[in-house]
Chains A and B, each alone.
Chain A
Amino acid sequence: MSTPDRSPRPPRDARHAWARLLRAGTPSRSRSNILVMVLAIALGFAIIAQVRQTSVQGLETLREDELVRLFADVDQDGDRLASEIRDLQTSLQLLESRSTGEEEAQRAAKERVDALGILAGTAPAVGSGITLRIDDPQHTVPATILLDAVQELRDAGAEAIQVNDVRVVANTWFADTRDGISVSGVEVRPPYVLRVIGDSNTLAGAMQIPGGVTATVRRVGGEASVDIRTRVVVDALLSVSPPRYARPVPTTTP
């Protein structure tokens, strides 16, 4: 906006223009003024209507080429989303197979722990097998016979053995004492009852072969009886202390 003083034209010119504008806009009850008013109201109304329409415009006012472009856009979006779905499904399958693989590994590890627990005597075991009862009224059965019996049972495929309340494992030892037999330092008194899990017929046969355990016990003055059972419980446990010197050899494969 420039100041009238500095303009090349005389200032009254602009003042005349403003006056003319005001005079034209002065309210009067002439017909033309009313008509102008009506037209102005219609224009204001139409502007607002159009502004609102533009802000809520749907598809129906679009032209053909715009619709074609929109359609192409939607098509492209659909393709892109479909490929995204495929990708995600692939990764879902990958993750699922990986998790089942982990479950498998966990199950295998658990089986291994169970097997090792039975082998090391840290887990109770149950299954078919035999009980071998050795009566020794005159204390004439030495530890060697018991050791022989255990060796014989192992040869016959015994998987878990217990002498009275002592579990027999790889490093179990037998020694004679005054009143009975020491099994890994635990005093065991007659009658000795061996509970053995394994193939019962094979175990029973191994005990009763001529010159075997039964015959030897009878020869030294004791009495041995074998009982085949479908359910033998070996529930004596050993506590295993971690080895002080031996370490597992590191391997890359689990």
Chain B
Amino acid sequence: MIPAIGLAIGIVVGLLLQPAVPVWLQPYLPIAVIAALDAVFGAVRAILDGIFSDKVFVVSFLSNVVVAAFIVFLGDKLGVGSQLSTGVVVVLGVRIFSNVASIRRHLFDA
């Protein structure tokens, strides 16, 4: 409940403030958002598995975001930025899908 409320508050605040993404952040934000979503779905799954830990969630959330941004940064520096971004998105997407599948199994028994 808490994370859903937080998400809603964040969306409303974002709609009200109409934030502009700073230029230095622009290449990293989309990947960071995907990584954070991965952490969120992982946390829900952990709750359902009964192995959820606040510390693990917070650390995994932050480290996911930082690592994703760093990979994109590194890729840009090495000249393979677009390919690496695609790779990161694919990996995180696969993880999100598998987490969602696990959550679905827990909640709907199917």
Determine if chain A interacts with chain B: yes
Contacts of A14 in B (CB 8 A): 106-109
The answer to whether A2 and B10 touch across the interface, beta carbons within 8 angstroms, is no
Contact with B52, one of A22, A24, A37, A50 (Cβ below 8 angstroms): A24
Interface size of A by Cβ–Cβ distance < 8 Å?
45
Q: Which residue of B lies closest to A25 (CB)?
A: B1
Residue A173 lies at the interface, judged by CB distance under 8 Å to chain B: no
Residue A70 lies at the interface, judged by CB distance under 8 Å to chain B: no
Given contacts A14-B106, A24-B47, contact A35 B58 (CB under 8 A): yes
Closest chain-A Cβ to B36's Cβ sits at a distance in Å of: 5
A4-29 CB contact bits vs B (8 Å, 1 = yes)? 10010101011001101110111100
Residue A46 lies at the interface, judged by CB distance under 8 Å to chain B: yes
Closest chain-A Cβ to B31's Cβ sits at a distance in Å of: 10
Residue B44 lies at the interface, judged by CB distance under 8 Å to chain A: yes
Residue A36 lies at the interface, judged by CB distance under 8 Å to chain B: yes
The answer to whether A43 and B58 touch across the interface, beta carbons within 8 angstroms, is no
Given contacts A42-B10, A48-B14, A61-B27, contact A36 B57 (CB under 8 A): yes
The answer to whether B11 and A48 touch across the interface, beta carbons within 8 angstroms, is yes
The answer to whether B7 and A43 touch across the interface, beta carbons within 8 angstroms, is yes
Closest 5 CB pairs of A and B: A44-B10, A40-B6, A48-B14, A32-B54, A25-B1
